[in-house]
């Protein structure tokens, strides 16, 4: 091989590796981070450059329930599941608690029920305001449920969960500083330049501290709680993570397809 041909080939391989590296960096970047002595995994995606979707049921109409089941279904179509997290709270049959839109089809309507407290506790989904994360033509957004229903933006994907963590750069006022209610938590924020950031706490944190992670550390003016306790989970082969839900499986799932 001549020197010129070798140089051209080497340059082409370098360019291909660079393009692949940039694509992976744009698609999803998951890192371990610490905020005020609490440890988190934070994954950042850019919707314009990342194929983020919502999944619930497989081709047979049954919930995927496990990240590995979803990964196999994506692989069967010649693609790769690079990242996944649970996409909000769900019922015992793994159906979404509230609004769920997949590929522009509303599969579950918005839930505007006013829940009564049980033993002085209102279930997290019903703590006000709850909200909707959505992906549409203009990118990603998070709105309180009532505001979303007023605007009715055109969306391709949407999931309702609650409570809202951050609303227009302000913490949800229902949160208590120093609350002893500490558990593992997962959430999603729409942040600077439209980036979407998912965060999962590795240990127990309260709502106030978790909300401050999104507003003060991740710079997300809007953020939504997804789930807590045994329902928290992350799929990221690059980090060796394929978590399971101790509720018997997951309901709706966020998945990044490559």
Task: Read off the tokens for 203.
Answer: 């240990």
What mean pLDDT do residues 121-147 have? Answer: 95
Report whether 176 contacts 206 (CB < 8 A): yes
pLDDT of res. 203: 96
pLDDT of res. 27: 52
Predicted confidence (pLDDT) per residue in 157-194, tens digit: 999 999 999 999 999 999 999 999 999 999 999 999 99
DSSP state at residue 217? I
Residues 6+ apart with CB under 8 A from 202: 38, 39, 40, 41, 184
Task: Return d(Cα 210, Cα 35) in angstroms, integer.
Answer: 9
Predicted confidence (pLDDT) per residue in 7-25, tens digit: 333 343 333 333 333 334 4
Instruction: Enter the pTM of the model.
Output: 0.88
Predicted confidence (pLDDT) per residue in 222-246, tens digit: 999 999 998 899 999 999 999 999 8
């Amino acid at each position: 091989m001549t020197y010129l041909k070798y140089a051209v080939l080497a340059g082409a391989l370098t360019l291909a590796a660079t393009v692949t590296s940039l694509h992976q960096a744009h698609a999803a970047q998951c890192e371990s981070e610490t905020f005020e002595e609490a440890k988190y995994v934070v994954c950042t995606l850019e919707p314009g450059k990342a194929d983020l979707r919502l999944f619930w049921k497989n081709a047979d109409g049954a919930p995927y329930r496990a990240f590995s089941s979803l990964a196999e279904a994506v692989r069967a179509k010649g693609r790769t599941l690079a990242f996944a997290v649970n996409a909000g709270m769900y019922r015992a049959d793994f159906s979404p608690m509230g609004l769920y839109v997949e590929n522009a089809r509303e599969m579950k309507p918005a839930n505007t029920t006013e829940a009564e407290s049980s033993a002085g506790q209102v279930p997290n989904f019903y703590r006000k305001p709850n909200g909707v994360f959505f992906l549409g033509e203009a990118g990603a957004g998070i709105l309180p449920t009532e505001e979303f229903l007023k605007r009715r933006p055109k969306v391709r994907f949407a999931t309702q969960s609650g409570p809202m963590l951050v609303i227009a750069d302000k913490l949800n006022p229902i949160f208590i500083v120093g609350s002893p209610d500490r558990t593992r938590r997962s959430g999603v924020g729409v942040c600077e330049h439209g980036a979407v950031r998912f965060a999962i706490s590795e240990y127990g944190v309260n709502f106030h501290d978790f909300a401050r992670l999104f507003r003060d550390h991740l710079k997300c003016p809007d953020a939504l709680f997804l789930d807590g306790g045994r329902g928290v989970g992350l799929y990221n082969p690059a980090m060796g993570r394929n978590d399971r839900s101790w509720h018997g499986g997951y309901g709706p799932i966020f998945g990044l397809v490559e």
